[in-house]
């Protein structure tokens, strides 16, 4: 299999400074927030790649960069060999754009309340001047709703049904890649399982590739083929699903797995992890995790660890073995 998405030394810095006059008066320096820092990974065609991490880890920013909602500051994103940020051939860019779609977290906020479901679903095709006759009806049936729903408005649907509409819209342009940003976080458990099953079925039928962004380890474990763990904008570990869960190498991954509540751990008393995620504007020196890491040595605070390959795993830690 070949890589359909190749991300190379991707960095994204946001300027979150105060307005220049305030900075002048308060003598405050510019504040630069590094949301994504030197991240590289590849996504195989027809696989599910999951990004996990806590808030502020940069997982959503990476998703937005891939679909082109946010430009990268440094590094590149190649989708089917085309870099959308630099490619000059408009026809090529257009073709790749049509191959990539996104599903957002909140199905209440991501559907226009004034549009009928038919128009919402057909929009990605209509925007390119394609033929939309009967398209919405077919897609609605494909995602488990009925064709008659096309004339309704979003408020007439429950959360799970709305997420199905979002999925139908994402499928409209016949994409190869779908970026799913916390697609089931807003849904109840019994509805979540329906949506996850639907996504798995569609992937098999249509040969889709998913980038699955989530903070929920159980959902990621269920869906992903390969998982990347992010901490403060940096990729700290990446491995095939079973390898990662059986043998997490990075101390942060281990901490995350220990802290996640488990349904079979009745009355478990965990030693809760220490500290909190540091400020991304002033990240710690060296390895970003060293202030919270139980194993940290001197070197960790001085030198940022490179990604190393250990068997199937890639890990950014001086001490992992």
Partner 1 sequence: MMTAPPVLSVRDLVVEIPTRHGVLRPVDAVSYDIHAGEILGVVGESGAGKSMTGNAVIGLLDPPARIVSGEILLSGQPVHTLRGDALRRLRGKRMGMIFQDPLTSLNPLLTVGDQLTETILEHLDITPSEARKRAVAALEEVGIPAARDRIDSYPHEFSGGMRQRVVIALALCAEPDLVIADEPTTALDVSVQAQIIALLKRLCRERGVAVMLVTHDMGVIAEAADRVAVMYAGRLAELGPVREVLTAARHPYTAGLMASTPRASQGHRRLRQIPGAMPRLGNLPAGCAFSPRCDHAQDRCRHDPGPTLDTCDGRAACWFPLASGADAIPDPEKETEA
* Closer CB to partner 1, 45 or 216, in the complex: 216
Closest CA to 66 of 121, 125, 7: 7
Residues in contact with partner 1, counted by CB under 8 A, come to a total of 42
* Closer CB to partner 1, 129 or 261, in the complex: 261
**What's the burial of 203, exposed, middle or buried (CB within 10 Å: 0-12/13-18/19+)?**
middle
Question: Which range touches partner 1 (CB under 8 A), out of 20-28, 124-132, 145-153, 262-270?
Answer: 262-270
Q: Which residues pair with 13 in a beta bridge?
A: 34
Residue numbers 8-27 binding partner 1 by CB under 8 A: none
List 11, 46, 76, 194, residue binding partner 1 (CB under 8 A): 194
Q: Provide the minimum distance between the beta carbon of 287 and partner 1 in the complex, in angstroms, as a whole number.
A: 17
156 binds partner 1 (CB under 8 A): no
Q: What is the DSSP string of 16-46?
A: -PPPHHHHHHHTPPP-EEEEEEEEEEEEETT
Residue numbers 237-256 binding partner 1 by CB under 8 A: 245, 255-256
Q: Provide the minimum distance between the beta carbon of 190 and partner 1 in the complex, in angstroms, as a whole number.
A: 4
- Both tokens of residue 284? 């710690």
Residue numbers 45-84 binding partner 1 by CB under 8 A: 54-55
3 binds partner 1 (CB under 8 A): no
Residue with tokens 């802290």: 259
Site string (221-240) toward partner 1, x via CB under 8 A: xx------------------
91 binds partner 1 (CB under 8 A): no
* Closer CB to partner 1, 161 or 313, in the complex: 161
List 39, 111, 171, 219, residue binding partner 1 (CB under 8 A): 219
List 89, 205, 269, 298, residue binding partner 1 (CB under 8 A): 269
Question: Which range touches partner 1 (CB under 8 A), out of 2-10, 257-265, 293-301, 311-319?
Answer: 257-265
Which segments of 172-282 does DSSP mark as H helices, in order?
189-206, 217-223, 241-246, 251-259
What is d(CA 15, CA 24) in angstroms, rounded to the nearest whole number? Answer: 16
148: Cβ contacts below 8 Å, ≥ 6 apart: none
* Closer CB to partner 1, 26 or 264, in the complex: 264
Q: Provide the minimum distance between the beta carbon of 216 and partner 1 in the complex, in angstroms, as a whole number.
A: 8
Residue numbers 290-309 binding partner 1 by CB under 8 A: none
Give me the sign of the Cα torsion angle 36, 41, 46, 48: negative
40: Cβ contacts below 8 Å, ≥ 6 apart: 7, 8, 9, 10, 75, 235, 307
Strands 209-214 and 177-181: parallel
- CA dist 105 to 43, 96, 160, 299, Å? 21, 23, 11, 39
204 binds partner 1 (CB under 8 A): no
Q: Provide the minimum distance between the beta carbon of 37 and partner 1 in the complex, in angstroms, as a whole number.
A: 19
The SS3 call for residue 144 is coil
Q: Provide the minimum distance between the beta carbon of 117 and partner 1 in the complex, in angstroms, as a whole number.
A: 17
């Amino acid at each position: 299999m070949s890589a359909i998405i190749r991300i190379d030394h991707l960095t994204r810095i946001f300027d979150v400074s105060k307005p220049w006059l305030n900075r002048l008066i308060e003598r405050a320096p510019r504040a630069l927030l590094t949301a994504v820092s030197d991240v590289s990974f590849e996504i195989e065609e027809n696989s599910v790649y999951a990004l996990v991490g806590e808030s502020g880890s940069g997982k959503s920013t990476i998703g937005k960069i891939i679909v082109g909602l946010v430009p990268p500051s440094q590094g590149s994103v190649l989708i089917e060999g085309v870099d959308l940020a630099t490619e000059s051939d408009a026809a090529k860019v257009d073709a790749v754009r049509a191959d990539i779609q996104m599903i957002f977290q909140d199905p209440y906020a991501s559907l226009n309340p004034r549009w009928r479901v038919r128009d919402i679903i057909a929009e990605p095709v209509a925007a390119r001047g394609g033929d939309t006759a009967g398209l919405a009806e077919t897609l609605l049936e494909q995602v488990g709703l009925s064709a008659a729903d096309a004339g309704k408005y979003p408020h007439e649907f429950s959360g799970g049904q709305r997420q199905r509409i979002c999925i139908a819209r994402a499928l409209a342009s016949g994409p190869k890649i779908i970026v799913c940003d916390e697609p089931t976080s807003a849904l109840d458990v019994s509805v979540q399982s329906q949506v996850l099953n639907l996504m798995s079925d569609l992937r098999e039928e249509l040969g889709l590739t998913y980038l699955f962004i989530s903070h929920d380890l159980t959902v990621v474990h269920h869906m992903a083929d390969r998982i990347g763990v992010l901490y403060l904008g940096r990729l700290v570990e990446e491995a095939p699903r079973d390898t990662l869960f059986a043998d997490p190498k990075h101390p942060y991954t281990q901490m995350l797995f220990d802290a996640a509540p488990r349904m079979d751990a009745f009355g478990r008393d965990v030693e809760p992890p220490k500290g909190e995620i540091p400020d991304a504007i002033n990240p710690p020196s060296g390895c970003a995790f060293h202030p919270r890491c139980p194993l940290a040595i001197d070197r960790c605070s001085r030198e940022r660890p490179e990604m190393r390959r250990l068997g199937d795993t890639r890990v950014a830690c001086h001490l992992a073995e």
